[in-house]
Amino acid sequence: MGSFEGKVMKKSRLVLYSLLLCVLLGIGVGLWIQSQTGKYLERWELIDAKIGAGIRELAFPVLEEETKRVGFLFSVPQGQKILEIPFNISLDRLPQRLRQMFSQRGVKVHKIKTRNLKNRYEVLMRLGWEKKITHTLEFILKKKKVALLIDDFGYSNGPVVEAFLDELSIPLTISIIPGTPYANLVAEKAHKGKQEIFVHLPMQPQGEFKGGYRWIVLDGMSETKIKKLVREAIKDVPHAKGLNNHMGSLITTQEQPMRAILEVVKRENLYFVDSRTAHDSVALSLARGLGVKSARNDCFLDNHQEIEYIKERFYSHLESLKGGRGSVALCHATLTTARAIKEIASHLEKRKIDLVFVSEVVE
């Protein structure tokens, strides 16, 4: 019996010593982790301060920032920031500028990558020290989207049509006056060239105007007549995705005719653009109220038929736009305008500006 009790006591002591050893090891590991975490945090805070100083020097707006803990036993902070690249910054030099700025501060640049996406340009950086990545910075530039709406097609099929549809390889929204001699032909050619097509519907302006339109919405027309007229006009322009007004400084200020027009536009599942030939137009607000995807003309580019004037108007319009916002710039089917657009397109900074169809900016 004594021998048995001795064996039990010996075994109990062994278990106790094992447990004690485990506790001591656990305490040791815990103290070591605490020590390493403390050292990491000291280093991380130093790197974080250096990165913060660099960001303040850049003076780029910080859109989002977050510090989160990662890891299981060894839980450490990871910094993430999203910053906005100002529109006037040179993108060619930006990655090297960022690399030099952080490297000179003693921050290790582990990775720097650029991406030119549909709606934005971005520079992604992973920073830290030695082999450790402690911070991720994402610099983004929201592209300015401009839809070029080219009015008054349909009267010819000569050099002007060739200049826009054969010589320009950028997205264009071609607006064709229904009832014109070449409306169908130009629409088919534009569709084949993968351009977007609109109906450029004549509407009565203020004061005197030249007639001769097969379909035109006139003051005093009944709702029934307007709707019939609009349906016929839309059928005359194949592949149409939307409609905007030709003239119309009178009609677009009147709710009754515009409502009739827009109800047909909605039924035909078309977009609508208010050409803004009248400052007191009710067309856009009515369209939005009816649930028609719509936009307004934000800028007439070619009130003067001079290449330099058109280019200056385009660049001034860009300056007024906020990044990420879409806009419509309206111009006309002339050789001068086509040449100006060709020059604009050849020097376009595609990492900052996205030329799009009107359907991509309607709301």
The pLDDT score that the predictor gives to residue 17 is 66
The mean predicted confidence, pLDDT, of the chain is 93
pLDDT of 197-222, one tens digit each? Answer: 999 999 999 999 988 999 999 999 99
pLDDT of 87-138, one tens digit each? Answer: 999 999 999 999 999 999 999 999 999 999 999 999 999 999 999 999 999 9
In this predicted structure, the answer to whether residue 248 has a pLDDT above a threshold of 70 is yes
Least confident residue range of 70-74, 120-124, 147-151, 187-191: 70-74
User: How much is the pTM?
Assistant: 0.85
pLDDT of 15-58, one tens digit each? Answer: 666 776 676 565 555 544 455 556 888 999 999 999 999 999 99
The pLDDT score that the predictor gives to residue 19 is 74
Domain boundaries of the chain, sorted by first residue: 43-142, 144-360
341: number of Cβ within 10 Å: 27
Fold category of 144-360 in CATH? TIM Barrel (3.20.20)
Q: How far apart are CA 293 and CA 284, in angstroms?
A: 10
Distances in Å between the alpha carbon of 296 and those of 146, 147, 252, 287, 353?
12, 11, 12, 11, 19
- Name residue, tokens 């919405």: 217
**245 compared with 24, residue with greater pLDDT:** 245
Fold category of 43-142 in CATH? Beta Polymerase; domain 2 (3.30.460)
